[in-house]
Amino acid sequence: MRFGIQTLDGFEFCGKTVLCRVDMNQPVNRETGTLKSTARIAACVPTVRELSDRGAKVVLMAHQGSDIEYQNFYCTKPHAKELEKLLGREVKWIDDVTGPAARQMISELKKGEILLLDNVRFVSEEQTLFEMKLALTHEQQVMTQVVRKLAPLADLYVCDAFAAAHRDQPSLCGFEQVLPSAMGRLFEREYCVVSELMESPERPCVFVLGGAKISDAFIMMETVLENKAADQVLTGGLVGNILLAAKGEQIGRRSLDFIYRSNYGEYIEKARKLYERYGGKVMTPLDIACVEKGERKEYGLGNVPEEAAAVDIGSDTIKRYREVIFGAKTVFTNGPMGVFEEKVSESGTKAVFEALGETKAYTVVGGGDSVAATAKYAVTDRLDYICTGGGALIRFLAGEELPVVKALRYGAKKFGGQ
């Protein structure tokens, strides 16, 4: 037991069927079916290997999203191939989650064998919980398809998905109600490192927030500003665009259309409230970059062309943000400063991440795309901690009891170890 949660040390696994929820959600190229980063898959390896070595029949559950928040789910087939390579042993895969085919395959597994099910978010209940803002209690989650169909086939549940620990969903919080449960090795390590780190971060403590997961970013900003964990927040990416729009700045019609088309219009209003409360602590871009005829063009605020799409922060912003980073003692980063996948719009992300590599401050980077960016700009080894979680990390830092932590603690109380 650690933190009131069972660890893998609390159980015998030989011959047991273990449902193990991992987070292998990676940036994916949908056209070629290839993964642009495999960092999270590599992070799952110790737990999967240990379970298999200890004779468990390992059934892995995972989700895969897409670039824009929770839309465009993708299958987990490439993940099985990658995991197989990393483990050096076979990983079976099936394009089914809870149906008869998946259940048959689970029941036929032998000791040590590993099966990855398809994307759990293909089961609608798993996603409606956040898409439709439905709130099922953990007890109610027991009645969902994924728990009803899979729990009877399993002896134990292991959650290693620290990066998804802030999601209140059946595959994450439902099984602990009905099966003896433990956290995996990755979950255990991230929990330890991050909680130690946050006990008293050295000041000034700066949060760099960018990327495209708007609802997460807003919760983060609100919590870290409210509980004073953050002395300053630097914003970029789509988050920065929304904040600029809220200030009444011109960010280009295509940027604004994109915000409304993605249903983020309401956040412009939320951003205004954020300014009213914490104005001085939230920094927004001073200039932005657009792409015109394949070339990068930068504009100061006030001069942005009407039709533009803001895809990166500009040079003045880069300079200012780097100064703030060099003046900080602790820097948490989640989300890139622009569409860093394209060369013309990578400068902001590249410069900020290089600053993270250079600064003497304690640096933590979390999030699928952000971790991919640390590798792309070769700063991985110079950061102090890389966390698989983005949203989970920030909420954990904000002192929230994450839903999965709560569920695992419940499981530990109800079933204990063995």
> Distance (Å, rounded) from C-alpha 371 to C-alpha 163?
12
Give the CA diameter of the chain. Answer: 67
Tell me the C-alpha to C-alpha distance, in Å, between residue 351 and each of 34, 317, 319, 347, 370. Answer: 27, 10, 9, 6, 13
Our finding on whether 235 is near ligand ADP (CB under 6 A) is no
Q: How far is the CB of 341 from ligand ADP (least distance, A)?
A: 5
* Residue 285 binding ligand ADP, by CB under 6 A: no
Nearer to ligand ADP, 99 or 300 (CB): 300
What is the side-by-side order of every strand in the sheet holding 181-183?
92-93, 114-116, 57-61, 17-21, 156-159, 181-183
- Give the one residue of 238, 271, 290, 308 binding ligand ADP; rule: CB under 6 A: 238
Ramachandran bin of 333, using left for φ above 0, alpha for ψ from -120 to 50, beta for the remaining angles: beta
Of 314 and 368, CB closest to Mg ion: 368
Distance between CA atoms of residues 82 and 12, nearest Å: 28
Q: How far apart are CA 360 and CA 204, in angstroms?
A: 13
Q: Does 389 bind Mg ion (CB under 5 A)?
A: no
DSSP H or E stretch at residue 405:
helix 403-415
**CB of 119 vs ligand ADP, minimal distance in Å:** 17
114 near 49, Cβ under 8 Å?
no
Site string for ligand ADP, 75-104 (x = CB under 6 A): ------------------------------
Integer angstrom CA distances of residue 380 from 244, 252, 358, 366, 371: 30, 34, 11, 12, 8
* Residues counted in the chain: 418
Q: Is 237 in the site for ligand ADP (CB under 6 A)?
A: yes
Count other Cβ atoms within 10 Å, centred on residue 279: 8
User: Out of 78, 201, 252, 367, which residue is the one contacting ligand ADP (CB under 6 A)?
Assistant: 367
Contact call for residue 211 and ligand ADP (CB under 6 A): yes
Site for ligand ADP contains 194 (CB under 6 A) = no
Side chain identity at residue 154, one-letter code: A
Give the footprint of ligand ADP on residues 297-316 (CB under 6 A).
310-311
Residues 6+ apart with CB under 8 A from 61: 19, 20, 21, 22, 97, 117, 120, 146, 150, 171
User: What is d(CA 322, CA 208) in angstroms, rounded to the nearest whole number?
Assistant: 11
Per CB under 6 A, does 252 bind ligand ADP? no
Residue whose CB is less far from ligand ADP, 65 or 112: 65
User: Is 369 among the residues that bind ligand ADP (CB under 6 A)?
Assistant: yes
Out of ligand ADP, Mg ion, none, which partner does residue 112 contact, by CB within 5 to 8 A per kind? none
Which of the stretches 73-81, 160-168, 286-294, 366-374 binds Mg ion when contact is defined by CB under 5 A? Answer: 366-374
- Return the number of the residue (69 or 126) whose C-beta is nearest ligand ADP: 69
- Cβ neighbours of 276 (radius 10 Å): 8
Cα–Cα distance, 85 to 379 (Å, whole number): 25
Q: Contact between 166 and ligand ADP (CB under 6 A)?
A: no
**Binding to ligand ADP, residues 10-39 (CB under 6 A):** none
**Number of chain positions touching Mg ion (CB under 5 A):** 2
Q: Which of 339, 351, 408, 412 binds ligand ADP (CB under 6 A)?
A: 339
Q: Which is nearer to Mg ion, 168 or 369 (CB)?
A: 369
Q: How far is the CB of 372 from Mg ion (least distance, A)?
A: 8
- Figure out which of the listed residues 129, 150, 212, 289 binds ligand ADP, where binding follows CB under 6 A: 212
CA distance 141 to 48: 25
Is 213 a binding residue for ligand ADP by CB under 6 A? The answer is yes
The number of CA neighbours under 13 Å toward the Cβ of 49 is 15
330 binds, among Mg ion, ligand ADP, none (CB under 5 to 8 A by kind): none
Q: Which is nearer to ligand ADP, 10 or 391 (CB)?
A: 391
| 369 lines the binding site for Mg ion (CB under 5 A) | yes
What is the spatial distance between Cα 254 and Cα 209, in angstroms, rounded to a whole number? 22
- Cα separation, 120 vs 345, whole angstroms: 33
Q: Which does 180 bind (CB under 5 to 8 A by kind): ligand ADP, Mg ion, none?
A: none
Closer by beta carbon to Mg ion, 72 or else 418: 72
Residue from the set 370, 377, 379, 398 that interacts with ligand ADP by CB under 6 A: 370
Q: Which residues would be at the binding site for ligand ADP (CB under 6 A)?
A: 67, 211-213, 237-238, 241, 310-311, 334-336, 338-339, 341, 367-370, 390
Question: Under the rule (CB under 5 A), what is the footprint of Mg ion?
Answer: 368-369
